[in-house]
Amino acid sequence: MSRNTQAIISLDNIRSNFLLANQWAPQSKNMAVIKADAYGHGLLAVAEALQSLVPAFAVAIFDEAVALRNGGITKNILILQGVNCATELTYASENDCWITLHNKQQIDLLLATKLKQPLKVWLKLDTGMHRLGLDQKQFDKSLQLIKQCRWIADDFVVSSHFSCASELANGESKKQFNKFNEMITEAKLPSNIELSLSNSPAIAHLPESNLNWNRPGIMLYGLPLFDGPHSSDQQLKAAMSFESEVVAIREVETGEYVGYSNKWQATRPSKIATVSVGYADGYPRQAKNGTPVLVKGERASLAGVVSMDLIGVDVTDLSNVSIGDPVELWGEHLSANEVASYANTIGYDLISGVSRRVPRVYK
């Protein structure tokens, strides 16, 4: 290895976090959401680690489902954005993939594509997020059409998605929950139809929304789920430690600058450690001066603009910092959410954005 910049992934922690979903929602079936390369943790590695525990997986797009099948994953796979052509429909029906239907065009395509094997579908309702989903009129009409189609499995699922479940003081989730129930009641669904609402924060905080199927995603990777303190924070375990090392150290006099565009100026004689990581690795370029970094387990702060391959860290108040010392950018001891707050983004963005040039090391 030419440098010690790597993402260390704890598969045990991912398994532990999934089992928490089962503990928090014991009456539900919890599928593992592993879209976007398992939020940057490695699609196949995470699927292989969870396959014996989960009833199904969920991905965002068709290509992710194909990658899982090509990698030997055999559990059912829900494609959250559905499919967009007859070829993809045929593949889904022949490879135990479930598809979301969230608009009229997808439903029309499915009705027009004769399939040899029954296909399980998830009808998605728009209960207030206004991103994807059917309104009441579209839902009622879709149910009539689906009942008449012989290649659609009878045991379909009806779902929706919360927009504000991570915001503890926001009442929008309860409004969406009530809207979902109203739409279901008006549609007069058959008794064998299953329902799905909860994402990770809803599993932890809104037990009434834990229905037949839940969709834990971010909680599998151990990030805090809410915009304030919550009991779940102490139970989830960070799955990714993004780490590097000090590759240079220099003394900087008062008034001197560090990094591009002179964005950081020393207000005292300072010691700057250069770390081998940058925005090409997925460290956020917009991170501000003062963003926390752990050097040898001690807090230090970002000094200067993040460059493509390197960052500067003010280690003036740390003792005995040397070239080769370990650096944690986020992980077990420094939450990605905290780092993200200095970069005007969210922890999801950081962990899913670690680039492919950073090796994933599994333990």
pLDDT tens-digit map of 332-342: 999 999 999 99
| Helix or strand holding residue 32 (H, E) | strand 32-33
Specify the CATH superfamily of domain 11-224: Alanine racemase (3.20.20.10)
pLDDT tens, per residue, the chain with 363 residues:
478 999 999 999 999 999 999 999 999 999 999 999 999 999 999 999 999 999 999 999 999 999 999 999 999 999 999 999 999 999 999 999 999 999 999 999 999 999 999 999 999 999 999 999 999 999 999 999 998 999 999 999 999 999 999 999 999 999 999 999 999 999 999 889 999 999 999 999 999 999 999 999 999 999 999 999 999 999 999 999 999 999 999 999 999 999 999 999 999 999 999 999 999 999 999 999 999 999 999 999 999 999 999 999 999 999 999 999 999 999 999 999 999 999 999 999 999 999 999 999 999
Residues of the chain with CATH 3.20.20.10: 11-224
Answer yes or no: CATH 3.40.50.1980 is held by domain 240-362. Answer: no
The Cα–Cα gap between 7 and 11 comes to 12
So what's the pLDDT on residue 107? 96
The Cα–Cα gap between 145 and 255 comes to 72
Q: What are phi and psi of 18, to 5 degrees?
A: -65, -40
Residues 6 or more apart whose Cβ sits within 8 Å of residue 289: 263, 264, 301, 302, 303, 304
So what's the pLDDT on residue 268? 98
Classified as helix, coil or strand, 88 is helix
So what's the pLDDT on residue 147? 87
So what's the pLDDT on residue 2? 74
> Smallest Cα–Cα separation from 40: which of 330, 244, 245, 307?
330
Positions marked catalytic: 35, 260
Residues of the chain with CATH 2.40.37.10: 240-362
Instruction: Judge whether 274 and 311 are in contact, CB under 8 Å.
Output: yes
Instruction: Judge whether 156 and 112 are in contact, CB under 8 Å.
Output: no
Sheet holding 213-214, edge to edge: 29-30, 213-214, 194-196, 157-159, 121-124, 97-101, 76-79, 56-59, 32-33
So what's the pLDDT on residue 194? 97
The Cα–Cα gap between 293 and 300 comes to 5
